[in-house]
A and B are shown apart, each in its own frame.
Chain A
Amino acid sequence: MTLLEIALIFSLMSVISVGGLPAVMGEVQRIVVEQKAWVTAPEFVQLYAVGQAAPGPNVLIVSLIGWKVAGLVGALVALLAMITPAAIMTYWVSDVWDRFKDTAWRGVAQRAMAPLVVGLVGAGGFVLATPGSPDWRMWLIAALSACGMLFLQKLNPLWFLAAGGALGAVLL
């Protein structure tokens, strides 16, 4: 029954996760911590941090929750539930999008989206660097790594992450 619950809850989250995980993060926390009591609030925060320290889309935190509740199978079920409904919607919508390739409204809509994306990606970076109250040490690490990405393009960005980890050990 727990597996079924995991599947149902995260399928629903998948459908309403417009723009990705951040949109439903609060709701996931409410259900998983307060309603189901699968993990405690401090555990939830730690799982999120571990999810951030792994590569890949941040929806992977749901597989950590599934893993806590029902082991490896729980982890797989949670991830599949979180990505499949959204993937099916995307599959269908991108079809419609391609069909209207040469219409005027599609050009208007595409130009409209560009600044929204820039603003939301920037906001994502800000939120990631500001987990609690503003902390200059977090911002410094983020700013250094951003400058690295912009001005040292030949260098493998993994070095900036390693440097961030080292600075974290010293500063935080």
Chain B
Amino acid sequence: MSVTPPRSLVELFTGFLSIGARSFGGVLPWAYRVMVEERRWITVEDFTQTMGLCQFLPGPNVGNAAIVYGKRWFGVRGAVVAALGLFALPFTWVVALGAIYSDYASNPTLRAVVTGIGAAGAGFFIATAIKLARPLARKPAALVIIAGCFISVGIGRVSLAYVLPVAIAAALITSRMGRL
């Protein structure tokens, strides 16, 4: 797949603006859709690897990705512009919603609709995990690590402070052995 990075700061800004504007229920699936599928700025492998790096840095993952790609293409200016694009509309949205919701918070139907939207957004995460897992499907070691992370963090609700050191060590060792 041939990819072309954005040619101008404006293009970078509008790209991240469109990620932020549509990312109801989770930003990651929209970051994938805009950067890999719609605008073809980066490859799937690039996306997975960058998100992998961002997962281990502090801060929101896609916010970090905005910094990484903005910087890669346009330096400091790019990093700032990409982050501004990503956060501008969601910030406006969330403050406006907060103001409206505090007026109608007692309405049970509204609460049910809001919760339903949240559940549908959760489905996007699961679909993204399945898409990203496809290249790993034939690697048993990868499946064990995926299951370990999912069960400990998702079901066990164990803090990342305990999960990450163990999972990173296990993944690095199996990767070094050529199993990933």
* A positions within 8 Å CB-CB of B: 14-23, 46-47, 49-61, 63-64, 67-68, 72, 75-76, 79, 83, 85-87, 89-91, 93-95, 97-98, 108-129, 131, 137-139, 141-150, 157-158, 160-161, 163-169, 171-172
| Cα-based distance from A138 to B157 in the complex (angstroms) | 18
8 further contact pairs, Cβ within 8 A, besides A20-B60, A108-B176: A54-B90, A55-B21, A56-B94, A57-B63, A75-B95, A93-B53, A141-B120, A164-B120
* A113 & B171 in contact (Cβ 8 Å cutoff): yes
* A160 & B90 in contact (Cβ 8 Å cutoff): no
* A119 & B146 in contact (Cβ 8 Å cutoff): yes
| Cα-based distance from A19 to B124 in the complex (angstroms) | 18
| Cα-based distance from A121 to B72 in the complex (angstroms) | 25
A52 and B168 in contact, given A85-B58, A91-B71, A121-B125 (Cβ under 8 angstroms)? no
* Residue of A whose beta carbon sits closest to that of B149: A119
A14 and B113 in contact, given A86-B64, A126-B154 (Cβ under 8 angstroms)? no
Query: On chain B, which size bracket covers the interface?
Result: 35 or more
* B positions within 8 Å CB-CB of A: 20-30, 33, 48-49, 51-64, 67-68, 71-72, 76, 79, 83, 86-87, 89-91, 93-95, 97-99, 101, 105, 109, 111-133, 135-136, 139, 141-143, 145-150, 152-155, 157, 159-161, 164, 167-168, 171-172, 174-176, 180
Name, among A47, A61, A87, A126, the residue most crowded by chain B CB atoms within 10 Å (CB to CB): A87
Q: What are the residues of chain B within 8 A of A67 when measuring CB–CB?
A: 95, 98-99
- The listed residue (B58, B89, B148, B159) touching A119 by CB distance below 8 A is B148
| Cα-based distance from A116 to B59 in the complex (angstroms) | 17
Q: What are the residues of chain A within 8 A of B30 when measuring CB–CB?
A: 157
Q: What are the residues of chain A within 8 A of B51 when measuring CB–CB?
A: 117
* A54 & B24 in contact (Cβ 8 Å cutoff): yes
* B91 & A75 in contact (Cβ 8 Å cutoff): yes
- The listed residue (B79, B101, B168) touching A116 by CB distance below 8 A is B168
* A87 & B117 in contact (Cβ 8 Å cutoff): no
| Cα-based distance from A80 to B176 in the complex (angstroms) | 39
* B55 & A114 in contact (Cβ 8 Å cutoff): no
- The listed residue (B118, B152, B168) touching A128 by CB distance below 8 A is B118
* A55 & B23 in contact (Cβ 8 Å cutoff): yes
A150 and B117 in contact, given A18-B58, A127-B154 (Cβ under 8 angstroms)? no
A55 and B20 in contact, given A60-B94, A63-B94, A115-B136 (Cβ under 8 angstroms)? yes
* B59 & A52 in contact (Cβ 8 Å cutoff): no
What are 15 A-B residue pairs whose CB atoms fall within 8 Å in the complex? A19-B56, A20-B55, A22-B160, A56-B91, A59-B60, A87-B63, A87-B64, A90-B64, A93-B53, A94-B67, A114-B48, A120-B55, A146-B127, A164-B118, A165-B116
